[in-house]
Amino acid sequence: MHFAPLFPIIYRILQPSFPNCLWHGDLNSKAIALTFDDGPHPQYTLPVLAILDSYNIKASFFWLGVCVNRSPHIAQEVKNRGHWIGLHGYEHLSFPTLSPTDLKLSLETTQAAIYNACDLQPEQVRDVRPPNGFFTPGTLKLFHQWNYRSVMWSIVPEDWVRPGVSVVVQRVLSQVTGGSQIVLHDGVCGGQDVAEIIKILIPQLLQQGYEFVTVDKLWKMKEGANRKN
């Protein structure tokens, strides 16, 4: 069963209910974030990097610790090219199914894998996106307690079920607005198509006047807007 039509509805319901999470950036800006989950992958990530390089775009990657350990050289390439790095857990397990002890271990083990591959200190990698987008208020409370930042999404084109490159591209283009946070995948599920997707998507978004920024920049924009309010 495909859930793509439901994600915009879920977003509209959850976003105001959990305002401390990062769902999007400044809605009045043309800045958007291109994000990738489930990597790094030995086949799928490098073609993504090549396309991002060709447009001088910085993206954000939410990594599984097990994948970092399998492909540390790919992880290092992502870091060396200046992209933003976040956590997606050690394995792709829904966080609400884990005990607090296991959840903390999953995040810290992933930070350790990233440190070993990229020489990034744990405090430099504290953005967390829950696998499958599943979380509870208790999950978010633990993130805050452990000094992590909760990163969600505003556009989820369900690329991991591989509905076709053109379908994914059109889903993004039909939903994109200022501040959008777009979720794609460079891992086992969806990674086969991701380079072709962004190869088509990026020039069309640039033509519409959008600017690509990292998740960290979206946080700074959110913090700036909160100070004004």
Q: Which residues are catalytic?
A: 37, 185
- Helical (H) or strand (E) element with 35: strand 31-39
Give CB contacts under 8 A, 24+ apart, made by 106-109. 106/65, 107/146, 107/148, 109/65
Q: By three-state DSSP, how is residue 85 classified?
A: strand
Cis peptide leading into residue 40 (ω within 30°): yes
- Helical (H) or strand (E) element with 150: strand 149-150
Can you read off the two tokens belonging to residue 60? 């954000």
Q: How many Å apart are CA 7 and CA 187, to the nearest integer?
A: 20
Alpha-carbon radius of gyration of the chain: 16
Per the rule left: phi > 0, alpha: psi between -120 and 50, beta: everything else, 127 is beta
Asked if 40 and 61 count as a contact pair (C-beta separation under 8 A), the reply is yes
Distances (CA, A) of 176 to 6, 27, 126, 131, 132: 16, 11, 26, 22, 21
